[in-house]
A and B are shown apart, each in its own frame.
Chain A
Amino acid sequence: EVQLVESGGGLVKPGGSLRLSCAASGFTFSSYSMNWVRQAPGKGLEWVSSISSSSSYIYYADSVKGRFTISRDNAKNSLYLQMNSLRAEDTAVYYCARQLGIKYYYYMDVWGKGTTVTVSS
């Protein structure tokens, strides 16, 4: 069964750091681009970052650029999100999602259940 399981969320003070992990199973992790998508309480979905299968291409939303770093370890079937200089507006459920497709025809087909990050003093 294809599965993504996020972990690492928690309560952190403004300005603090947190590292999220996403463990993949049931598919060849190294063949797929991966994404982080977040959802603030009561709000819609917001894309955070993407990383290609070999880490050659990495993209960030403007709202996190310079503060968050996406990475992956294909040997460990794991995706990461290092979050620094956290702000209250980063409070959200963070989902990892697998990306399929080719240029002009991308889609995210499998999502984890999410991990909750709360930034508060």
Chain B
Amino acid sequence: QSVLTQPPSVSEAPRQRVTISCSGSSSNIGNNAVNWYQQLPGKAPKLLIYYDDLLPSGVSDRFSGSKSGTSASLAISGLQSEDEADYYCAAWDDRLNGWVFGGGTKLTVL
């Protein structure tokens, strides 16, 4: 059972838009920045979004992040087949004094 809650899977057609939710609590998302990671099959996680809504250099602007209270969302627009991956949200937890992750969401591009 992960501290942050994500849907196990989402799917959408190419060129469409999809959102992935991440729900937490006041000790993590409510008080700390949310980060999102993309993990392609057999690869290490890659930073996708940091500080709730900022894109690292080199990340496509088809990806965007948002946060409200104790929940966050990742949106991917103009879906492409290469976006098929697992997506994880993460935040520091002040009560646990450590990082907490969502359980991961598998994105399928139909």
Contact = CB atoms under 8 A, between A and B. Distances in A.
A45 B47 contact: no
B40 interface: no
Q: Tell me whether chain B's interface is mostly helix, strand or loop, or mixed.
A: strand
B98 A61 contact: yes
A48 B98 CA distance: 8
B95 to A, nearest CB: 12
B72 interface: no
Q: Tell me whether chain A's interface is mostly helix, strand or loop, or mixed.
A: strand
Given A44-B2, A44-B102, A59-B97, A107 B51 contact: yes
Contact of B99 (A47, A104, A105, A109): A47
A45 B88 contact: yes
B103 A37 contact: no
Contacts of B33: 101, 104-107
A95 B47 CA distance: 14
Contact of B101 (A47, A60, A101, A112): A47
Q: Categorize the interface residue count of chain B.
A: 20 to 34
B37 interface: yes
A108 B92 CA distance: 10
B101 A46 contact: yes
Given A44-B88, A45-B90, A111 B45 contact: yes
Contacts of B88: 44-45
B100 A47 contact: yes
Q: Categorize the interface residue count of chain A.
A: 20 to 34
B104 interface: yes
Given A95-B45, A109-B50, A44 B35 contact: no
Nearest to B45: A111
Interface of A: 35, 37, 44-47, 50, 59-61, 95, 97, 101, 104-114
Interface of B: 2, 31-33, 35, 37, 39, 43-47, 50-51, 56, 86, 88, 90, 92, 97-104
10 closest A-B pairs (Cβ-Cβ)?
Answer: A47-B99, A107-B50, A44-B104, A107-B35, A111-B44, A45-B101, A105-B33, A59-B97, A44-B103, A106-B92
